[in-house]
A and B are shown apart, each in its own frame.
Chain A
Amino acid sequence: MTDQKRRNTCLLAAMGILAACLCASLLLGGGGYYLYRTGGLNLNEVLGFVGMGPGEVQISNLSDSTLEMVMTYIDEETGEERSGESVQLAPYDIRILPNLTPREYQIVINSNLGLPPGGECRINLRGGDTVSFVAVPEGVLVYRDGDNVSSSDEVNLLTSPVCQGE
Chain B
Amino acid sequence: MEKKTRNKLLLILAVLVLLALSCSEVIVQNDTASPVRVIVAMPGESSPETTVILAGDAEIFLSDISGTYTITAVLDEAWRDNLRATRDEITLILLGNLNTIDQEEISRLTRALGKINDLLDKDLNPISCSGEVNDEVSGNVTIGIHLSGVGLAIRCD
Q: How many A-B residue pairs have CB under 8 A?
A: 103
Inter-subunit contact B90/A136 (CB<8 Å): yes
Inter-subunit contact B106/A155 (CB<8 Å): yes
A155→B44 CA distance, assembly (Å):
33
Partner of A91, one of B65, B80, B93, B111: B80
For B63, give the chain A residue with the smallest CB separation: A39
Inter-subunit contact A156/B94 (CB<8 Å): yes
Q: Kindly specify which of A5-13, A21-29, A70-78, A145-153 makes contact with the partner chain.
A: A145-153
A30→B49 CA distance, assembly (Å):
30
With A39-B43, A92-B52, A150-B101 as contacts: A58 and B94 at CB distance below 8 Å: no
- Centre residue among A90, A94, A99, A154 by max chain B CB count within 10 A: A94
Indicate if B5 sits at the interface (CB-CB under 8 A): no
Inter-subunit contact A95/B101 (CB<8 Å): no
Indicate if A96 sits at the interface (CB-CB under 8 A): yes
A35 to chain B, nearest CB (A): 10
With A62-B87, A94-B113 as contacts: A37 and B50 at CB distance below 8 Å: no
- For chain B, the count of residues having a C-beta within 8 Å of the partner chain is 37
A69 to chain B, nearest CB (A): 14
Partner of B113, one of A58, A139, A151: A58
Indicate if A2 sits at the interface (CB-CB under 8 A): no
Chain A interface mostly: mixed
A91 / chain B contacts, CB cutoff of 8 Å: 52, 80
Inter-subunit contact B94/A152 (CB<8 Å): yes
A62→B92 CA distance, assembly (Å):
14
Indicate if A60 sits at the interface (CB-CB under 8 A): yes
A147→B107 CA distance, assembly (Å):
9
- A87-117 toward B: CB 8 Å interface, digit per residue (1/0)? 0001111111011000000000000000000
Residues of chain B from 63 to 111 with CB closer than 8 A to chain A in the complex = 65-68, 76, 79-80, 83, 86-87, 90-91, 93-96, 98, 101, 103, 106-107, 109-111
With A134-B90, A141-B94 as contacts: A62 and B83 at CB distance below 8 Å: yes
Indicate if B137 sits at the interface (CB-CB under 8 A): no
B151 / chain A contacts, CB cutoff of 8 Å: none
Indicate if A65 sits at the interface (CB-CB under 8 A): no
B65 / chain A contacts, CB cutoff of 8 Å: 36-39
A149→B109 CA distance, assembly (Å):
14
A110→B95 CA distance, assembly (Å):
20
Partner of A152, one of B87, B96, B107, B110: B96
Inter-subunit contact B94/A44 (CB<8 Å): no
Question: Using a CB–CB distance below 8 Å, which chain B residues touch chain A?
Answer: 37, 43-44, 46-47, 49-52, 65-68, 76, 79-80, 83, 86-87, 90-91, 93-96, 98, 101, 103, 106-107, 109-111, 113-114, 116, 119
Further pairs besides A136-B91, A138-B91, A152-B98: 19, Cβ < 8 Å: A36-B65, A37-B66, A39-B67, A39-B68, A60-B113, A91-B52, A92-B76, A92-B79, A94-B50, A94-B114, A95-B50, A130-B114, A132-B113, A134-B110, A141-B94, A143-B106, A145-B110, A153-B96, A155-B106
